[in-house]
Structure 1
Amino acid sequence: MRVLAAMSGGVDSAVAAARAVDEGHDVVGVHLALSRAGGTLRAGSRGCCTIEDAMDARRASDLLGIPFYVWDFSERFRDDVIEDFISEYQAGRTPNPCMRCNEKIKFAALLERAIELGFDAVCTGHYATLVDEGNGLELHRASDAAKDQSYVLGVLTEEQLRYTYFPLGSTPSKAIVRAEAQARGLTVANKPDSHDICFIPDGDTRGWLGERVGAETGEVLDRNGDVVGSHEGAHAFTVGQRRGLKLGVPASDGKPRFVLEVRPVSNTVVVGPKEALATAEISGVRFSWAGRAPLETEFRCHVQIRAHSEPVPALATWQNGTVTATPDVPFDGVAPGQTAVLYDGTRVVGQFTVDKTVSAVPVNA
């Protein structure tokens, strides 16, 4: 099998490529250049896809004896991930750029080019498993629950799954992967994992957005519409946020307040008690199925709304172009723009981008 190994420069993708070589596949390594900022370098464990990462990926490929290339996907990344991130915040939503990158770059743009060049599969270092029991290919959680990445892969379609290859999915722990890398002589064996948003390596999302969308003073309201403070830009707030509110009017019960809603049109932020974050229903029109679509328009499932949150049992409905999830126990602080991934046991059923939320607590409660 001809395999294109997507090599980020980290330990996971390097070991995944090595395992593909061991299995006898014809492997070619490729690193995606997602930024044209030539001086970009990794800061500790922040960021990814830097010059340093490209060099690490090349060294790993040389050690494995496989061809290596760097593909410039910076324009596509800018248009499909960075610009989407900015526009979502401007619309008062909370986007997940890792989901968009997997959807638009790693398993769309990269996969399209791989197929055009005659490759049979794209290999990555993601922790997830593929299962085929005769009913079509299914995406499942990884063996290592702590490293499971099936949530961020929930955007993959049945067609894309047919061309994916996850050699690390059945590995019991990340420690085993690092030990294997060490034994193979890979210099990235002890390289720290990247985290945060890769194109904001210093972690200052508020400052980064402020430079690009501007900051305009607005009002902070309570649930009754009364002004309780002011802000310097609604884009800097997300649902569930507690810190940095700087409210001038204390709550009547003395308890802390949280961001409940961001309204970009009026440039206002709505705050309230923590219990008001309870969400009784979420829905969205942008959805996809990871493999075969559900047989019924109403089905039981578990819903995960963040990469590392606990899945919540729920009833999902799929009709009139909208997917709706009603949890048995309310979700905690869901914001429009977040991704809800639906599971049947360990299997990823599909996902949708949250467009609408319904609070479990009435305004006057």
Structure 2
Amino acid sequence: MRILAAMSGGVDSAVAAARAVDAGHDVVGVHLALSRAGGTLRTGSRGCCTIEDAMDARRVADRLGIPFYVWDFSERFRDDVIEDFVAEYQAGRTPNPCMRCNERIKFAALLERALELGFDAVCTGHYATVRDGARGLELHRSSEEAKDQSYVLGVLTADQLAHAYFPLGDTPSKALVRAEAESRGLTVASKPDSYDICFIPDGDTRGWLAERVGTAPGEIVDRAGAVVGSHDGAHAFTVGQRRGLRLGVPAPDGKPRFVLEVRPVTNTVVVGPKEALAIAELAGARYTWAGAAPEDPATAFACEVQVRAHADPVPATAAVREGELVVTLVDPLHGVAPGQTAVLYDGTRVLGQCTIDRTVSAVPVDA
């Protein structure tokens, strides 16, 4: 096959590209320039897609003897990931930019260009597997549970899975990938993994948002509507947050209070007891299926749902009702926020996902 290897400059994508070459594929490496600040450098494990990463990717490609290009996707990344991130926070939601990047950049914009140029698949260093199932291709967890990245790939559709190539999916551990990179003489063998939001490398999300959307004083209220504090901008708060509330009125029971809801229209933040973070149901209108859809999505089916990349999946039932994918939890789940992504599983198989639009608390307001 003709393979376009997306090379981030990290060890995972480097070994994935090397394995694609070993498998006899015609491989071309590409690094995506996602920022127009060309002089940007990494700070340890923070940030990615920097000029330093591009140079690391080029050195790996030279070592593998494959052609290498840098493609400027910065405008698309700004529009589809960064601006979406800001808009979601302004709407009172908690977005996941990595999901949007996989959905709209790596497996939409990149794959689209790859197919136009005659490539058969895009290769990445994600830890996940694509298998043949009874009703077509299926996305499954990787063999290494701790490094599994199927959650952030839950946005992929059946057509995208048909052109996705994940050589690391059956690798038992990240340590083995690093050892393989070392044995191949790849200079990225001991390079730290990147973390946090790549376009906010210092990790100060609140400060970054304040620069872009400004500040707007508002009220912090309890579940009954009583004012218990004030803030400089609702966008700075997320559901489940405890620190930084600076409440002027203590709770009657003396216990800590947490952010339960962000209301952007009125610029209000709602707080309450930890117990009120328990969610019985979540739903989203923006849903997709990773492969074949259930034969009858309107009929409730058993599944597990995962709402964060490193969270444990929990038992649930799901069904499509009135244009929404509605997920009912067997036991309440804590700290779920609109804007997060809920990925559904059947064992190791990814069934589909939705961006959470609303949640239903398991604890009544007057409880």
With the length of structure 2 as denominator, give the TM-score of the two structures.
Answer: 0.99
How many angstroms apart in 1 are the aligned matches of 2:142 and 2:3?
21
How many angstroms apart in 1 are the aligned matches of 2:258 and 2:90?
20
Which residue in the other structure is 1:57 paired with?
57
Which residue in the other structure is 1:258 paired with?
258
Query: What's the CA shift for 1:320?
Result: 2.7
SS of the residue corresponding to residue 35 of structure 1 reads coil
Which residue in the other structure is 2:48 paired with?
48
Task: Identify the range of structure 1 (313-322 vs 214-223) with the bigger mean alpha-carbon deviation.
Answer: 313-322
SS of the residue corresponding to residue 328 of structure 1 reads strand
Query: What's the CA shift for 1:193?
Result: 0.3
Which residue in the other structure is 1:305 paired with?
307
- After the TM superposition, which residues 47-126 of structure 1 pair with which residues of structure 2 at under 5 Å, given as runs? 47-126=47-126
- After the TM superposition, which residues 281-292 of structure 1 pair with which residues of structure 2 at under 5 Å, given as runs? 281-292=281-292
Query: What's the CA shift for 1:38?
Result: 1.8
Query: What's the CA shift for 1:5?
Result: 0.2
Q: Deviations over 1:290-317 (max 9, x none)?
A: 0000113221000001111111100101
How many angstroms apart in 2 are the aligned matches of 1:155 and 1:276?
29
Query: What's the CA shift for 1:335?
Result: 0.8
Structure 1 residue corresponding to 2:322, chosen from 320, 328, 338: 320
SS of the residue corresponding to residue 260 of structure 2 reads strand
Which residue in the other structure is 1:363 paired with?
365
How many angstroms apart in 2 are the aligned matches of 1:7 and 1:332?
36
Moved over 3 A (4+): none
Task: Identify the range of structure 1 (171-180 vs 125-134) with the bigger mean alpha-carbon deviation.
Answer: 125-134
- After the TM superposition, which residues 1-365 of structure 1 pair with which residues of structure 2 at under 5 Å, given as runs? 1-296=1-296, 297=298, 298-365=300-367
Gap runs ≥5 in structure 2: none
How many angstroms apart in 1 are the aligned matches of 2:268 and 2:176?
49
How many angstroms apart in 2 are the aligned matches of 1:51 and 1:57?
10
Q: Deviations over 1:144-197 (max 9, x none)?
A: 011000000000000000000000000000000000000000000000000000
Query: What's the CA shift for 1:319?
Result: 3.1
CA RMSD of aligned residues (A): 0.6
Aligned length: 365
How many angstroms apart in 2 are the aligned matches of 1:362 and 1:206?
31
How many angstroms apart in 2 are the aligned matches of 1:10 and 1:197?
16
Q: Deviations over 1:2-28 (max 9, x none)?
A: 000000000000000000000000000
Q: Deviations over 1:115-146 (max 9, x none)?
A: 00000010000000011034200000000011
How many angstroms apart in 1 are the aligned matches of 2:94 and 2:39?
29
The AA in structure 1 aligned to 2:26 is: D
Gap runs ≥5 in structure 1: none
SS of the residue corresponding to residue 115 of structure 2 reads helix
How many angstroms apart in 1 are the aligned matches of 2:243 and 2:128?
34
SS of the residue corresponding to residue 17 of structure 2 reads helix
How many angstroms apart in 1 are the aligned matches of 2:88 and 2:160?
25
How many angstroms apart in 2 are the aligned matches of 1:18 and 1:293?
34
How many angstroms apart in 1 are the aligned matches of 2:47 and 2:107?
20
Query: What's the CA shift for 1:318?
Result: 1.3
The AA in structure 1 aligned to 2:71 is: W
SS of the residue corresponding to residue 220 of structure 1 reads strand
How many angstroms apart in 2 are the aligned matches of 1:319 and 1:186?
51
How many angstroms apart in 2 are the aligned matches of 1:133 and 1:306?
26
How many angstroms apart in 2 are the aligned matches of 1:320 and 1:242?
35
How many angstroms apart in 1 are the aligned matches of 2:46 and 2:269?
30
How many angstroms apart in 1 are the aligned matches of 2:209 and 2:164?
34
How many angstroms apart in 2 are the aligned matches of 1:236 and 1:41?
27
SS of the residue corresponding to residue 126 of structure 2 reads coil
